[in-house]
Amino acid sequence: MTLSSAPSALHSPDTTEPANPQILGVTISAVDMAAAVDRVLGWVERGDRHYVTVTGVHGVVEAQGDATFKRILNGAGLAVPDGMPMVWLSRLAGYAQVSRVFGPDFMLALTRGLAKKRRRVFYYGGASGIADELASTMRSKFPGIVDAGTCTPPYRELTGAERDEVVRLINAARPDVVWVGLSTPKQEKWMAQMRPFLYAPALIGVGAAFDYNTGRVKRAPRWMQTSGLEWLYRTIQEPRRLWKRYARNNTLFIYYLLLQKLRLRNFGESFNPR
């Protein structure tokens, strides 16, 4: 059966792990960097198949107006807390072990672990040439990693035949991990759609990590990262492209939290401070 004719399916979350916090109805895994890396390495060792979302304010806000996207986020085997608001709210809800798992840092930490066992990785996404540049950078930093291949898709929606070819290409490369850099929510929807057809144990949507880890985008100072102000640094870097997105998402996020606190809107299973 080809992908274009196969029924749509979402992968079930990893239910072997303890309960996780919910923020505006979106599950955030109660992990820190080490736990997130260990979880994925375990899937690779066992051959389990899941997808990973790197979830911050943008994803949570987008999910409020898109029920399908919210189900995709909640169907992830692992939804790491990408932004400091996810960390703060998780800790307020009683999950003291949660710390930030920033996508670019997660890529580096997991690649370090994968390289020790000479595991295979595939890079899907990014603008023209970035996936190849990223693969070269990772090989240089982590000599044990095996580059299984790259693919830079067009910005438009793929045709059925093109999706079938992507499945063939990735499965033939036999990666243990597929890094997906398509931005939110496109990358999460791609992973959910492709998960039933790809053999790789882990599909991981890391968005801008492709740009960060090739040096095309500069990191914010550490104090801005830990104080929740990285969005401001990014806005200063690319004001014309990002100011509207951050203004909208940050405002709506606070507004939704207020509606929930006042019990004026039900967001499903939701954040409840202890």
pLDDT tens-digit readout, 85-130:
999 999 999 999 999 999 999 999 999 999 999 999 999 999 899 9
Pair (233, 114) in one structural domain: no
Whether 31 and 81 share a structural domain: yes
Range of the domain at 233: 222-261
Residues 170, 253: one domain?
A: no
pLDDT surpasses 50 at 4? no
End-to-end CA distance of the chain: 49
* pLDDT greater than 90 at residue 12: no
Beta strands in the chain (DSSP E): 22-23, 26-27, 50-55, 78-81, 120-125, 146-151, 177-181, 202-205
pLDDT reading at 273 higher than 50: no
What does the pLDDT read at residue 3?
Answer: 56
126 with 159, same domain: the answer is yes
pLDDT of residue 143: 95
Report the pLDDT value the prediction gives residue 8, as an integer from 0 to 100. 42
Q: Are 170 and 179 in contact (CB under 8 A)?
A: no
pLDDT at 17: 52
pLDDT at res. 270 = 42
Same domain (yes/no): 45, 101: yes
**Are 71 and 174 members of one domain?**
yes
